[in-house]
Amino acid sequence: MADIIQLLPDHVANQIAAGEVVQRPASVVKELLENAIDAGADMIKLIVKDAGKTLVQVIDNGKGMSSTDARLSFERHATSKIKNAEDLFQLHTKGFRGEALASIAAIAHVELKTKQDADDVGNALVMEGSHVVSQEIVVTPTGTSVSVKNLFFNIPARRNFLKSDTVELRHIIDEFHRVALAHPGISFALYNNGSESFNLPISNYRQRIVNIFGNKTNEKLVPVDEDTEVLKISGFVGKPEFAKKTRGEQFFFVNNRFIKSAYLNHAIASAFDGLLKNGMHARYFLNLTVDPQTIDINIHPTKTEIKFDDEHTLYAILRAAVKHSLGQFNIAPVLDFERDPNLDTPYNYKENPVTTPKVEVDRTFNPFNEAPVTKSEGRSSSGTSFRQAATKQTPSDWESLYVGLESKGNESQHDFAEVEFESEEETLSIFEGDHQVEQSHTTYQLHNKYIVSTIKSGMLIIDQYRAHQRVLYEEFLRNMTTREGVSQQLLFPLQLHFSPQDIAIVNQLKSDLEHTGFVFSNVQEELVEITGVPVGVPESEVSIILEQLISDVENEVPDSNFSATDLLAKSMAKSLAIKTGQSLKKDEQEHLVNKLFACKDPNVSPANRVTFVTMSVDELDKKFI
């Protein structure tokens, strides 16, 4: 029998490796930015076109490469970062496996220009699908420029799986933020389709955060600083009152490398325990410095997951450090057992001597006799005592109190005869007679989550949250389609602060939001001013609605096939729907049930989840067999 196992060609092996390393344009951005940092650059420029599908270019002023190194850098497992296996546990660089450029070159058109400082001219290398097209000498500045064009040109299936430009650009910006936050000592710039999106000068860590997320972020940060033998922590956490419903601004950096860790995230959530509302997430920007020998980075293709030797110790230190910072800056409640402020002596009485109050008693006082005016009685504001005023009315004067009441009574009777009372408007019920009483007892709320109603064949159980989502979704969709959204004006304009990239999304959705009832008076670089909101939307919920909406648009929930109007209606319905756990009155329950079955599609929620189930009498009977 013939042999069936054979070695794969290099270009096929590179394409397979590219499936792990390069998942989308953001993966290319991450690898190229990290290579530029490893090259010692202090100024890095990122240029993207069509969300990276057409072009991703990274220009740096690092040390550059020789002609031999430029050619060798596109070979698999060719790297300058490690020499032997022991170096994997002493990593101080970003890349180390030597697969990035080889994987990128296998699925894109790559043009590399590089020059070392000591050389007069540089080298240009052009590759298409792992094949070298040309290599020549060119005039280029010191450093390296890598241009990746037409990503996945030879793998159309992978290209078809890419999301829309909005989503892919969001992933690129996320990777840009992660690299820029980890290295405030390097200048970064991002250009998207010819326009400048970010220009981050060299600064300290706090200023780098403010430059990325807006000027209002500065007042929301609480510094965290802890130095132990095991772990060094530096960075900032957000104040509890500025927490968000989304997990956007949460960054862990271990030895200047961005990581994701649900375990360490739980430590932060535990430190904020009791300070955040349900469903809210704290923001944090924390740098963790540990011994490279105590971590293993090479466990995930994107290197965003790290294995720690002693996670429990890190958890305890991180939780204590954040909790200490929150208490130190009077954000968390602090108990002080040494002093009770309620027992402090007021300032005005601190130096006065203590005197015993004197009580004067008139032992000769008789309430049935007319008593002389005492000294204490003479101090009244009218100058006469209460007893004197009481004894002025003698029993013989009681008849004078009723003089003239008879005539006054006739006049008042005559006046009341001409008074007209305004009757209240009666609300007529659809159901006449005793049917209204029966209707009020047809729905019941179960665990503040389900509405149970009786039907002819048995029982109906409705999920109140999903049902209300369906009702609001169709209502918002109708308002935006017919452009008849009703707005209620705010007494004072509502000012909300967002990052520049979030403001861009608000501008995209502004017209659709106005059709639902929002009124925008001003939209600036980091400020949104709202003077009107849709009827029924509380003012306190507006910021939550917009944050959720921006997050849904960035992540394209539920799918790219839906229109922006449909996405907006779904996001607003999800934010404003009656939440699980909210108690409803009888008329509210009935109104929700009637509204649900008046919808075009009452069976499912906007997210295609079941809104109600029915249980027949036969099914109930079987439960008791």
pLDDT at site 86: 56
Q: Which amino acid is at 249?
A: E
pTM: 0.66
pLDDT of the residue at 440: 44
pLDDT at 143: 93
Could you tell me the two tokens for 606? 């906007």
* CATH superfamily assigned to domain 443-614: MutL, C-terminal domain, regulatory subdomain (3.30.1370.100)
What integer pLDDT is reported at residue 361 of this predicted model? 85
- CA–CA distance, 328 with 350 (Å, rounded to integer): 30
| Stated length of the chain | 625
Provide the H-helix boundaries in 273-374: 311-328
Q: Which residues of the chain have a pLDDT value below 70? A: 1-2, 11, 14-20, 77-98, 298-303, 330-351, 370-441, 483, 555-564
Which of 572, 571, 490, 498 is closest to 528 using CA atoms? 498
* Token code pair at residue 180: 């820029």
Class (C level, CATH) for 10-200: alpha beta
Q: For 525, phi and psi rounded to 5 degrees?
A: -65, -40
Cα–Cα distance between 516 and 386 in angstroms, integer?
68
Match 């590399």 to its residue by tokens. Answer: 112
Count the alpha carbons within 13 Å of 236 in the hemisphere toward its beta carbon: 19
- In this predicted structure, what is the pLDDT of residue 517? 82
pLDDT recorded at residue 407: 56
CA angle 403, 405, 409 (to 5 degrees): 165
The packing angle between helices 500-516 and 464-482, to 10°, is 80
CATH of 208-328, one of 3.40.50.300, 3.30.230.10, 1.20.1070.10, 3.20.20.70: 3.30.230.10
Q: Assess whether the region 10-200 and the region 208-328 belong to the same CATH fold.
A: no
At 556 the pLDDT is 62
Distance, in Å, from the CA atom of 445 to the CA atom of 235, rounded to the nearest integer, reads: 47
pLDDT tens, 13-44? 766 666 667 888 999 999 899 889 988 899 99
Helix, coil or strand: residue 523: strand
Structural domain boundaries in the chain: 10-200, 208-328, 443-614
Q: Which tokens go with 224? A: 């965290």
Annotate 167-182 with three-state secondary structure. HHHHHHHHHHHHHHHH
